[in-house]
Amino acid sequence: MQSSFSGRRLAAFVLCLAPLAAHAAGDPAVPPALSAKALEMLKRSVGFRTVEGEGQVPAYAEYLAGELRAHGFAAEDITITPRGETATLVARFRGSDPALKPILVSSHMDVVPAKREDWERDPFTAVVEDGYVYGRGALDNKFGLVTSTAALFWLKQEGFKPRRDILVVLSGDEETSMTTTAALAQELKGAELLLNSDAGGARLRDDGKPDVYSMQAAEKTYMDFEVTTTNPGGHSSRPGPTNAIYDLARIIDRLAAFRFPAKLNEITRAYFESAGESTPGQTGEAMLRYAKDPGDKEAYELLASKPEYVGQVGTTCVATTLRGGHAPNALPQSATLGINCRVFPGESVEYVTETLTRVIDNPNATMKLIYQPVPSDASPLREDVMKALRKAIDQRVPGLPIVPSMSAGATDSLYFRNAGVPSYGVGGLFIRAEDNFAHGLNERIPVASIDGAVAQWRSLVRDLAR
Ligand SMILES: [Zn+2]
């Protein structure tokens, strides 16, 4: 691992950059050694090239297992399971009451690819510069992995004895096929709840203060369809009464005019109530009215007309790809339209399929499902979770509004919700929107966010596990 700082300077550097990690009286500050450890772990983590196909996830898991053992986890409580070229890791922080269901603290070890020539710096050598840690995965999701794990090291150091088991659950292909996630969700489906470090967090304004903390409690379901119209075709000099492209064009027109019904759930209601307060003008009013009554047509129309809110008011299906015909001088024998849907939690695959079939309404068209969806219901806004999160956030920024959110998907939570485990994206990253380069070039996280995230995780896990 290359570093431009010695360990001592590093610790000092972290401390002097820690205005965001403010803690209220009574909340213990992160011990400097643990803070330095978290930064060191994050830098080491970036160094593992855990991209699909590189076979580096097992080595990264071994490194993490070493850190877990060094911080009080028994060797027999750490399980690394090889799964193809990747792996999963589950580590158990033993609780005193085996009758209670465990809580899961999840992250993913893999990252999306990064090309050296595209980046200003080597993406797989963490660099600390101007208060940021740069590197592929620094944000997504190694920051969450490291800060949530460091919080458990802290609880071990303090001699905390949970009543429930706390399981560290690390998947190995979240960014690609999610087969490790699917396997983990099946193995751990009896859990009480899951806290996911890969979603949730606060957006910082330009003055460095957060405006709102967003907690992810639902994800829409992703579905892809293809609709194909067929026709015997023929010579283009002899057009007949039917045409595969014309048929498809009529289908496209009907699809463009169609909208799935207005939907509201506990999470989007809370979201619109909160966003409505801070959004000026007609849009803010529409949010508040919609939160009260999703049957309010005017409010619905206004929100559905905006790309940033249309996904929050119902299922969306939209044309995304088009191909058809085979020669400029031949009548088309087929034409195919790709449709992508983001399904509101609670609406079934069958319902969406039947509805689209009805909208298409053409005996010469066939529709097939291209992507096998994994539906997941919204997680209930449980009182124990909301209370523990409120307390953890108050210790960082007293009174910071917490807004539940539904994202377009997908994180590991998708599979756990599908398996019946309520799942919450409650990551500790506080970052400016313009600094958020997840999946992009020069991915980075503010060093100053580490301490606050560790403290947030410690408070949250402690309250829910005891
Ligand atoms: Zn992620």
pLDDT of amino acid 18: 34
| Greater model confidence, 437 or 174 | 174
Question: What distance in angstroms lies between residue 439's CA and the mean position of ligand 1's atoms?
Answer: 9
CA within 13 Å, CB half, 281: 3
Per-residue model confidence as pLDDT tens digits over 117-133: 999 889 999 999 999 99
pLDDT of amino acid 1: 28
Per-residue model confidence as pLDDT tens digits over 135-185: 999 999 999 999 999 999 999 999 999 999 999 999 999 999 999 999 999
| Greater model confidence, 92 or 362 | 92
Interval 333-343 mean pLDDT: 96
Residue with tokens 């919609």: 290
Q: Mean pLDDT highest for which of 267-281, 357-371, 382-396?
A: 382-396
Question: What distance in angstroms lies between residue 241's CA and the mean position of ligand 1's atoms?
Answer: 51
Question: What distance in angstroms lies between residue 414's CA and the mean position of ligand 1's atoms?
Answer: 12
pTM of this prediction? 0.87
Question: What distance in angstroms lies between residue 173's CA and the mean position of ligand 1's atoms?
Answer: 10
pLDDT of amino acid 28: 61
Interval 337-361 mean pLDDT: 95
In which element (H, E) is residue 400 found?
none
* pLDDT at position 85 over 70: yes
Binned at pLDDT 50, 70 and 90, residue 26 comes out as very low
Question: What distance in angstroms lies between residue 412's CA and the mean position of ligand 1's atoms?
Answer: 8
Contact status, residue 226 vs residue 353, Cβ threshold 8 Å: no
Rounded to whole angstroms, the Cα distance separating 236 from 378 reads 52
Binned at pLDDT 50, 70 and 90, residue 25 comes out as very low
Question: What distance in angstroms lies between residue 372's CA and the mean position of ligand 1's atoms?
Answer: 21
DSSP 25: T
Q: What are the distances in angstroms from CA 203 to CA 15, 60, 133, 402?
A: 22, 29, 18, 12
Interval 322-345 mean pLDDT: 96
Question: What distance in angstroms lies between residue 400's CA and the mean position of ligand 1's atoms?
Answer: 24
Question: What distance in angstroms lies between residue 267's CA and the mean position of ligand 1's atoms?
Answer: 21
Contact status, residue 376 vs residue 414, Cβ threshold 8 Å: yes
Question: What distance in angstroms lies between residue 111's CA and the mean position of ligand 1's atoms?
Answer: 8
Rounded to whole angstroms, the Cα distance separating 83 from 65 reads 17
Question: What distance in angstroms lies between residue 49's CA and the mean position of ligand 1's atoms?
Answer: 15
Question: What distance in angstroms lies between residue 298's CA and the mean position of ligand 1's atoms?
Answer: 36
Query: Residue 272 contacts by C-beta under 8 Å, 6 or more apart in sequence?
Result: 264, 287, 288, 290, 291, 312
Question: What distance in angstroms lies between residue 31's CA and the mean position of ligand 1's atoms?
Answer: 27
Question: What distance in angstroms lies between residue 411's CA and the mean position of ligand 1's atoms?
Answer: 6
| Greater model confidence, 205 or 65 | 65
Which of these ranges, 179-188, 292-301, 429-438, has the smallest mean pLDDT? Answer: 429-438
Read out DSSP for 37-71? HHHHHHHHHHHS--BTTS--HHHHHHHHHHHHHHT
Task: Give first-to-last CA distance, the chain, whole Å.
Answer: 37
Question: What distance in angstroms lies between residue 190's CA and the mean position of ligand 1's atoms?
Answer: 24
Question: What distance in angstroms lies between residue 455's CA and the mean position of ligand 1's atoms?
Answer: 21
Question: What distance in angstroms lies between residue 249's CA and the mean position of ligand 1's atoms?
Answer: 38
Task: Report the mean per-residue pLDDT for the chain.
Answer: 92
* pLDDT at position 440 over 90: no
Which pair of structure tokens corresponds to residue 88? 């999963």
Which pair of structure tokens corresponds to residue 174? 């979240």
Q: What are the distances in angstroms from CA 114 to CA 46, 52, 74, 118, 389?
A: 12, 11, 35, 8, 34
- The dihedral through the CA atoms of 318, 321, 326, 328 has a sign that is positive
Contact status, residue 460 vs residue 228, Cβ threshold 8 Å: no
Question: What distance in angstroms lies between residue 110's CA and the mean position of ligand 1's atoms?
Answer: 8
Question: What distance in angstroms lies between residue 174's CA and the mean position of ligand 1's atoms?
Answer: 7
Question: What distance in angstroms lies between residue 215's CA and the mean position of ligand 1's atoms?
Answer: 15
Interval 304-331 mean pLDDT: 95
Rounded to whole angstroms, the Cα distance separating 247 from 360 reads 10
Interval 250-265 mean pLDDT: 97
Q: What are the distances in angstroms from CA 98 to CA 74, 102, 163, 426?
A: 17, 9, 8, 25
* pLDDT at position 4 over 50: no
Q: By C-alpha distance, which of 145, 131, 174, 172 is closest to 44?
A: 145
